[in-house]
Amino acid sequence: MEARRDFRFGVNLLGRGSADEFLGQVRHAERCGIDIVLLPDHLELGAPFPMLAAAAAAAPAMRVGNFVLNAGFYRPALLARDIASVDQLSGGRFEIGLGAGYVKAEFDAVGLPFESPGRRVDHLRETVLQLKALLSDPEFVPPTVQSPPPIMIAGTGNKVLSLAAEHADIVALAVLADDEALAERVGFLRDQAGERFAELEINLIVVDLAIDREPDLATLRSHRPGATDSELLRLPNALHGTHDEVVARIRELRDTFGVTYLTPIEPSSGDLDAYGRVIGELRSAP
């Protein structure tokens, strides 16, 4: 029987405001009991590595990471240098997050070809393999504190999940239609990973964190256009209900699907406070 993994709670910040606003969000997340602050990798947002180094300094109790880097933007040796530097600066609190990239306009803007999905995943695979080799090498400069830092791979397709099953420490599942789709994807991951499945931490991105407030259907619909209201409310990536209902749902996600790591996107100050109360209850009576 697989051992029950502890919960982890992250928050994915966008960093669109000033430095003071961003660091204020980071410190607020630390006060709420968040385990890790993460940043995405899009051209209209701040550069993730310097912002994560600042976040690590501002909140020494939290880990920091990417959710997620677009592997297509990077050469592995240069990426390894940046990862190692932030891992050093954070005292070994950095986590790598990688995806294949999906926004064609961003590839166009930086002058890179937008390859087929299969070729983008092939580049992701090569990036993962080279990072693991470089960051595990005791001769690598700059040296890391962790050897290597944990790697999260994000996606829902068969090819990405097969790669994650073989090489990731953490698997992040993007938006899925309902619990049946979540169960199917976790089942596929389990089949691909075999005995290694017990080593994997499963993450679910939360696109709307609605504790003691009405769900934001417009936000949900932006992630699943064309869905009805009732379909949107069935998204596993939406947490909504009273405090007690959300606590029960998070336990269900763990006990039924093996999801133990949750990451809401840019929660408001009030939503973050409500999230903190949920975290406190789950930690006191897991």
pLDDT at 91: 98
Q: What is the pLDDT of residues 148-185, one digit of tens each?
A: 999 999 999 999 999 999 999 999 999 999 999 999 99
Is there a cis peptide before residue 37, judged by omega within 30 degrees of 0?
Answer: no
Parallel, antiparallel, or unpaired for β 208-211 and 201-206? unpaired
Q: Where are the chain's structural domains?
A: 8-284
| Bridge partners for 96 per DSSP | 151
Q: CA–CA separation, 99 vs 172, rounded Å? A: 10
Confidence band (pLDDT; 50, 70, 90) for 2?
low
Q: CA–CA separation, 19 vs 46, rounded Å? A: 10
Closest by CA to 148, choosing from 67, 89, 202, 94, is: 94
pTM: 0.96
The amino acid that residue 43 corresponds to is L
Residue 1 has pLDDT above 60, yes or no: no
pLDDT at 4: 78
Give long-range contacts, CB 8 A cutoff, 24+ apart: 246-255.
246/211, 246/278, 247/278, 247/281, 247/282, 250/7, 250/278, 250/282, 251/282, 253/204, 254/4, 254/5, 254/7
Q: What is the pLDDT of residues 203-250, one digit of tens each?
A: 999 999 999 999 999 999 999 999 999 999 999 999 999 999 999 999
Q: CA–CA separation, 256 vs 242, rounded Å? A: 20
- Phi and psi dihedrals of 99, rounded to 5? -140, 170
Stretch 259-268: mean pLDDT, rounded? 98
Confidence band (pLDDT; 50, 70, 90) for 285?
confident
Confidence band (pLDDT; 50, 70, 90) for 286?
confident
Rg (CA), the chain: 18
Contact of 62 with 79, CB cutoff 8 Å: no
Closest by CA to 186, choosing from 80, 258, 138, is: 258
Cα 154 to chain centroid distance, Å, stands at 7
Place of tokens 């791979």: 153
What is the architecture, at CATH level 2, of domain 8-284? Alpha-Beta Barrel (3.20)
Q: What is the pLDDT of residues 195-208, one digit of tens each?
A: 999 999 999 999 99
Closest by CA to 212, choosing from 279, 285, 284, 271, is: 271
Calculate what percentage of the chain has a pLDDT beyond 90. 98
pLDDT at 59: 98
